[in-house]
């Protein structure tokens, strides 16, 4: 046999077995972490200070990953919102949480702000190295990570994409103001960030943000590659959603995201790897007497403007039982903008009817079910209202709130957007501080 052919076959065989080895290790890691997360969910149902919940909605699978942690020194919430599959959010999320837990349990000597930032950044980039060395060819994920240093009352956020971290008042659901003492973005080293007293909410990275567009245009111009941004034609105009293209290839909707390296190689856009993956970092400081609930949510809450503002999302998370009693529950939502359409006959109760005030979320759900375009969406709408009824039968509606029954609170909170037209996965995390 030709020596070159033997050498070629040897190399191919070596590559094949190396891929098989990585795949087997990845599957073993996935099984171990799935068992861990199932155990964690069972333990959380008995926990009164931290909880997470998620619902699939009308999607074919659930691409979100949620994580909460709380010990004597740190509290943490993490939201990964995957897209185009579950492989990346699982691989990245499971490795990241495993490393974070080790850090939280062995970090009593770490108190300095810069030391915490440097350590978490190192964990983040090592996790990227990990996923870059396993065979993921499709799917990506965003990341919103919030870490609260209990001793110094500082919140550190690491933001990549369009989910959110925010601090809420667990009693009234208001967004809490903190003192922003640090902000950085390695993609914008010269930017003068506004520090000082401000609402504690992370920025969202998408192509409605002109700063993000300018970043991409600069990178594309440097590489002599055309780029365009256009409003989505498959979404309602009031949703204000945009898609970007480099050459003729669509980018993911969030402007910051973690994609497999194969995505960049396939589309010959390796020059935007760091652009998409760089986290924006902020640090807020809070007073010792502030009442705080550290929250993370995916963008399913704002899908179809189901919950139109961050302030309203905060209200939903802290007191969902009260939110669903509001007669104005459809105000500024996409479903609300359709109320005057000729899609419903007189048997449907609408906001102008007196009976609407008796159960706004139930009647909104019925309106949505009538116009939901396919079986999977209709099934999600039915599941949502059934779950809402189940929770309302379990507890008085005014007791389904974060300060009283945290797990039931988050379980109800994720169902509300589905009954108000969200067609996405909906997930949230809360740690009471």
Residue 429: inside a domain = no
Q: Domain of 198? A: 18-203+278-307
The residue-averaged pLDDT of 267-275 equals 95
Residue 8: inside a domain = no
What would the pLDDT profile of 323-368 be if each residue is shown by its tens digit? 999 999 999 999 999 999 999 999 999 999 999 999 999 999 999 9
142 shares its domain with 291: yes
Where are the alpha helices (H) located in 204-279, listed in sequence order? 210-222, 261-266, 273-277
27 shares its domain with 129: yes
93 shares its domain with 240: no
Domain boundary among 256, 287, 307: 307
Residue 416: inside a domain = yes
pLDDT band per the 50, 70, 90 thresholds, residue 36 = very low
SS3 313: helix
Residue 433: inside a domain = no
247 shares its domain with 185: no
Write the CATH number for 43: 3.60.40
Query: Residue holding tokens 């943490």?
Result: 76
Query: Residue holding tokens 């498959």?
Result: 234
197 shares its domain with 215: no
292 shares its domain with 329: no
pLDDT, position 37: 46
What would the pLDDT profile of 219-247 be if each residue is shown by its tens digit? 999 999 999 999 999 999 999 999 999 99
For residue 333, give every residue at least 6 positions away whose Cβ sits within 8 Å of its Cβ, in sequence order, or none: 304, 305, 306, 307, 308, 420, 421
98 shares its domain with 238: no
267 shares its domain with 123: no
Instruction: For residue 112, count CB atoms less than 10 angstroms from its CB and return exposed for 0-12, middle for 13-18, buried for 19 or more.
Output: exposed
Residue 348: inside a domain = yes
Domain boundary among 246, 272, 298: 272
95 shares its domain with 236: no
pLDDT, position 4: 64
The residue-averaged pLDDT of 3-22 equals 62
For residue 279, give every residue at least 6 positions away whose Cβ sits within 8 Å of its Cβ, in sequence order, or none: 121, 124, 143, 158, 159, 160, 256
Residue 42 has pLDDT above 50, yes or no: no
Query: Residue holding tokens 């996790």?
Result: 127
Residue 390: inside a domain = yes
Q: What is the pTM of this model?
A: 0.89
Domains: count for the chain = 3
pLDDT, position 113: 96
328 shares its domain with 356: yes
391 shares its domain with 346: yes
296 shares its domain with 392: no
108 vs 129, residue with greater confidence: 129
Residue 406: inside a domain = yes
Q: Provide the sign of the torsion angle of the four alpha carbons 6, 7, 10, 15, taken in this order.
A: negative
Residue 9: inside a domain = no
């Amino acid at each position: 046999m030709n020596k070159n052919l033997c050498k070629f076959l040897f190399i191919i065989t070596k590559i094949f077995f190396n891929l098989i080895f990585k795949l087997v290790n990845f599957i073993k890691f996935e099984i171990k972490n799935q068992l861990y997360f199932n155990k964690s969910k069972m333990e959380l149902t008995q926990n009164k200070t931290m909880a997470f919940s998620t619902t699939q909605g009308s999607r074919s699978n659930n691409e979100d990953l949620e994580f909460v942690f709380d010990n004597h020194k740190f509290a943490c919430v993490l939201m990964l919102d995957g897209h185009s599959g579950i492989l990346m959010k699982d691989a990245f999320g499971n490795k990241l949480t495993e490393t974070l837990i080790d850090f939280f349990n062995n970090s009593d000597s770490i108190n300095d702000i810069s030391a915490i930032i440097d350590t978490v950044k190192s964990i983040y980039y090592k996790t990227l190295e990990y996923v870059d060395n396993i065979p993921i060819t499709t799917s990506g994920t965003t990341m919103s990570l919030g870490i609260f240093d209990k001793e110094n009352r500082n919140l550190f956020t690491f933001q990549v994409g369009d989910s959110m971290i925010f601090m809420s008042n667990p009693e009234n659901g208001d967004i809490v103001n903190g003192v922003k003492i640090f902000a950085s973005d390695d993609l914008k080293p010269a930017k003068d960030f506004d520090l000082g007293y401000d609402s504690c909410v992370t920025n969202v990275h998408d192509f409605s943000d002109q700063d993000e567009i300018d970043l991409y245009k600069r990178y594309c111009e440097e590489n002599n590659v055309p780029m365009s941004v256009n409003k989505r034609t498959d979404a309602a105009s009031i949703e204000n959603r945009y898609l970007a293209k480099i050459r003729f290839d669509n980018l993911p909707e969030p402007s910051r995201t973690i994609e497999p390296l194969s995505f960049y190689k396939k589309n010959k856009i390796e020059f935007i790897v760091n652009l998409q993956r760089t986290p924006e970092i902020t640090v807020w400081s809070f007073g010792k007497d502030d009442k705080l609930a550290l929250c993370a949510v995916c963008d399913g809450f704002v899908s179809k403007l189901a919950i139109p503002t961050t302030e309203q999302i905060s209200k939903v998370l802290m007191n969902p039982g009260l939110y669903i009693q509001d007669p104005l529950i459809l105000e500024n939502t996409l479903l609300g903008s359709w109320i005057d359409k000729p899609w419903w006959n007189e048997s449907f109760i609408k906001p102008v009817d007196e009976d609407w005030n008796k159960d706004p979320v139930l009647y909104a759900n019925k309106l949505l079910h009538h116009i939901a375009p396919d079986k999977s969406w209709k099934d999600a709408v039915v599941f949502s209202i059934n779950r809402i009824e189940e929770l309302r039968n379990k507890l008085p509606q005014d007791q389904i709130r974060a300060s009283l029954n945290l797990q039931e609170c988050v379980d109800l909170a994720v169902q509300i957007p589905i009954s108000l037209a969200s067609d996405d996965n909906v997930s949230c995390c809360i740690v009471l501080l």
